[in-house]
Structure 1
Amino acid sequence: MTASLKKKFPRGISPVGIAVLMAVVLIVWLLLGDWRSASDEAPMAQQVPAQKVHQVETRWSQAQPITREQVLQGQLQPWQQVRVMAQVTGRVAQILKQQGEQVTAGEPLLLLSDEGRGQELEQARAIFRLRQKELASARKLRASNYVTETEIIRLEGEVARAQADLSAAQLAVEYNRPVAPFDGVVDRRYVEIGELVQPGAELMSVVNVTQLKGTAQIPQQDAHKVEEGQPVIIRLLDGRELSGEVRFVSLAADPQTRSFYVEVEADNPELWRVAGGSATLRIQLAPVLAHQLSPALLKLGPDGSLGVHAVDDEGRVVNYSVEVVSITDEGATVAGLPTNVQIITQGAGFVDPGQVVDTLVVPVGDDAKDPDMVESQPLPGMGAAE
């Protein structure tokens, strides 16, 4: 057996060495095969998993014109109101107008005792005439150089002083009969016949309520909406209404409340007794195109503004900033959306602006999937679009 093996293998090479040599040759052959395969074939491209497209439910909403209102709580005042006061000392001699009576501008209201003012007026007139004659005579003598220029100037001053005294005396006599400052009604009387009054004492109060003045304060964030000339509906506490318009909006805010003063004028043809009372001022703002939707669809942005997610014509999510016009039991009415828009009603919380989505449009009137999905209907107070 040993002798036969020695005859088959050359001398000096054992069977173990042959096995090792064959193993080395096999490894080299395998490595050469892998290298050739790598150099002949390009590596397979890495497959990127396809991005998942979210599906959202949407509905089409058509904007409708709506008339907005700025509601303010204010008060009504007479268009004109003055307290007539005494300007001279005297006793009330006669009351010419009673409370509730109509008066015209310049009409006497009562009569005060003269207290010698009539005599002072006559004296002032006489002195004024005397000073005028003295001046006229001096000017004639001046032409003949019998009177100096200085004397003429002194006499002119005396005439001016006499004229001022005469005007004061005339006013004092006129103050014996206080008059109405404008057309109106005697609202209050504060004196009685025989009562002694001093300058500054209140005699009567005269008001003009054929027109009323409504005043209120508007918050600074809403002041830009109100302009002069806008119509106003004034609702009284008992439900009655008056029509008016904005007459004035202050340019500077109150430093305490940071609000702006608003003044409204309204006619009061029936002379309702409402001056001094509270009222609701409903200022009619310019109409806007608005959509009605569920308040749950409103999203709060990073900057604190409200927005609504919708889908554009390319199937991408768009967030529109909106302004809430009103909120009622029927939903929120918002402005700022396109006239015709595809609003996301389900799945808005799982998508971001710019993302492509697959839409499932809910038909108009189909509220089986979402009770909040109601197609925009004509809103209260809507008129034809301007």
Structure 2
Amino acid sequence: MKLIPLITAIVVSVGLYFLVIQRDTLFAFARGDDTSTLSENTPSSEKGEESSAPASEQIVENRVGVVARHSQAEVFDSAVILRGLTQAVRQVDVRAETSSTVISEPLRKGIQVSEGDVLCKLDPGTRPAALLEAQARLTEARANMPVSEARLDEANARLSEAKINLTAAQKLAEGGYTSETKLAASKAAERSAVAGIASAKGGLETARAGIESAIAAVAAARKEIERLTITAPFDGLLESDSAELGSLVLPGDHCATVIQLDTIKVVGFVPETLVNKVGLGALAQAELATGEVVQGQVTFVSRSADQSTRTFEVEITVANPDLSIRDGQTADIAISAQGATAHKLPQSALTLNKQGQLGVRIVREDLTAGFIAIELLRDEADGIWVGGLPDTVDVIIMGQDFVTSGVAVAPSFVEASQ
């Protein structure tokens, strides 16, 4: 039989006995105190003896020492934290509306352009001649207008004459002074005059339609000539070279890309659980990847969620007069929301309970440890803002991992600045 395992078991058993049953005696021995006096004052459950030491001294000796802080709730300017990117307030791909050959020198990307500046100029071809032809047709149509009006006046005169002759023939026929043939001829002349008026009116309408058609042809020819000059729609920067000299462009072909950056948008997506905290006009701050911090206001909150992420688009408008902010930069966004009360604690004060809930250990009124689950609101360099705690609470900031709920503690309090 091997003696080493047996001796090891005996030593461990003795150690556990003194550590569990005679813990006070062991601690007193380690401190160099008189163990005989302590053993006399230590209560024995087997003999039913009562301790001769004061009860308050025993209570203090059995408590766990911790460091705590008196924490008072403060007004906390809560914010909705997002991650997004910058976007140009306007970006347009300027395209051709007609087909022709580029006859202007190309502009290079990166230059500043103003509204109305020529980006691409196209060969006019036969378009000026088409305009002259349309103008000539308009002149001709307008010249035909007086002729049509004169024909209408002539038809009206013939109708008046025919009505007079018909009236006279009818009166003579009633007295027997004219023949039926003469009366029938007068009626036929009157009907012919009416038909002549209708024909004259039709000719007048045709002349008017010819004028309108000629005016439309002139406008179309002029518009086609206007399309030969492609200009910048607004002040901005060229994001691409304009079309090369001599290249053929068709309707819809790219001429240049103009981007406006004097005002920038910072776009993020807010979760559906926080969207009600974001309102139009709310102040917002964005920290760019370069470290630059910019401020602006919320100008758009989407009413429709993205179907894949269930988030809502939020746009923040930021002034960018020096064009220092570029399109497509990553940004950490903080949007101000309605203020609330919260506690600012050191991050080291956080702990977990047996159920895995995140919270803090507190000192109760009976000097025992307790646990309260908390809600993380904002993480800062010098501490963390949490919610879910009473307005006034004593939070254990050191030793919280060595106690559980109900354990007696001996707290030492420090100021918040420490």
State the TM bucket, normalised to the shorter chain: 0.5 to 0.7
Shift in Å at residue 308 of structure 1? 7.9
Deviation at 1:77, TM superposition (A): 1.8
How far the C-alpha of 1:226 sits from its partner, in A, is 1.7
In structure 2, distance between residues paired with 1:250 and 1:217? 9
Structure 2 residue 376 is matched with structure 1 residue 334? no
CA–CA separation in structure 1 for the residues paired with 2:200 and 2:359: 92
Give the Cα separation in 2 of the matches to 1:258 and 1:273.
29
Match of 2:322, SS state, is: coil
* SS of residue matched to 1:246: strand
What corresponds to 1:84 in structure 2? 94
Does residue 218 (structure 1) correspond to residue 270 (structure 2)? The answer is: yes
Q: Which of 227, 231, 238 does residue 290 from structure 2 map onto?
A: 238
State the shift of 1:282 in Å: 2.8
- Aligned residues of 1:106 and 1:182 also touching (Cα < 8 A): yes
Q: Secondary structure at the match of 1:156?
A: helix
What aligned pairs does 1:280-299 form with structure 2 within 5 A after superposition? 280-293=332-345, 294-296=349-351
Q: Note if contact 1:72-1:218 (Cα within 8 Å) is conserved in structure 2.
A: yes
Q: Deviations over 1:45-79 (max 9, x none)?
A: xxxxxxxxxx9999753112233333322222211
Structure 1 residues 275 and 221 mapped into 2: Cα distance closer, same or farther (>3 Å)?
A: same
Considering fraction of residues, name the structure with more helix. Answer: 2
Unaligned runs of 5+ in 2: 1-62, 157-196
TM-score normalised by the chain length of structure 2:
0.61
Aligned length: 304
Tell me which amino acid in the other structure corresponds to 1:90: S
Q: What's 2:11 paired with?
A: none
Find the residue that maps to 1:130 and give its secondary structure. helix
**Partner Cα distance (2:106, 2:381) in 1:** 59
3-state SS, counterpart of residue 102 of structure 2:
strand
CA distance in 2, matches of 1:151, 1:349: 105
Return the alpha-carbon distance in structure 1 between the equivalents of residues 112 and 296 of structure 2. Answer: 24
* Residue identity matched to 2:232: A
Quick one: structure 1 residues 241 and 60, their matched pair in 2 at CA, closer, same or farther if it must change by over 3 Å? closer
Q: Is it true that 1:170 corresponds to 2:222 in the alignment?
A: yes
Task: Note closer, same or farther for the CA distance 1:362–1:140 as it changes in structure 2 (3 Å cut).
Answer: farther
Gaps of 5+ in 1: 1-54, 352-358, 366-374, 379-386
2:124 matched to 1:124?
no
For residues 1-386 of structure 1, the aligned pairs below 5 Å read 60-95=70-105, 97-144=107-154, 145=156, 147-272=199-324, 274-293=326-345, 294-296=349-351, 323-327=375-379, 332-341=384-393, 349=405, 362=411, 364-365=413-414
* RMSD over equivalenced CA pairs, Å: 3.8
Counterpart contact for 1:288–1:335, Cα < 8 Å: no
In the TM superposition, residue 86 of structure 1 has moved relative to its aligned partner by 1.0
Q: Is the 8 A contact 2:350 2:360 kept in 1?
A: no
Contact 2:83–2:330 at 8 Å: present in 1 too? yes
What is the letter of the counterpart of residue 98 of structure 2? Answer: V
How far the C-alpha of 1:259 sits from its partner, in A, is 0.7
Task: Describe the SS at the equivalent of 1:178.
Answer: strand
Q: Bigger shift: 281-290 or 108-117?
A: 281-290
Q: 1:300, 1:225 → 2: CA distance?
A: 30
